[in-house]
Amino acid sequence: MDNLQKAVDLIVNSKKVFALTGAGISTDSGIPDFRSNTGYYTKMDPTLALSKDRLLNHPEIFYKEGYVILEDLNDQKPNKGHIALAKLEELGKLQGIITQNIDNLHAKAGSKNIYEVHGETRGIHCMSCGHEFKFDVMKKKVEAGEIPPKCDDCGGTLRPNVVMFGDMMPDDFERGARELDNTDTLIVVGSSLSVSPVNFLPNYVDHLIIINNDPTPFDNRADVVFHENSSKVLTEILEEVEKRI
If the chain, 245 residues long, is cut into consecutive pieces of 10 residues, what is the mean pLDDT of each piece? 94 98 94 59 74 96 92 90 98 98 96 97 96 96 97 97 95 97 97 92 97 96 97 98 92
Domain boundaries, the chain: 19-190
The response to whether 126 counts as a known ligand-binding position is yes
129 is in an annotated binding site: yes
Q: What is the pLDDT of residue 213?
A: 94
**Catalytic residue at 227?**
no
- pTM of this prediction? 0.93
Per the residue annotation, which of 118, 125, 131, 227 is the catalytic one?
118
Domain 19-190 has CATH 3.40.50.300: no
β-pairing, 119-126 vs 132-134, is antiparallel
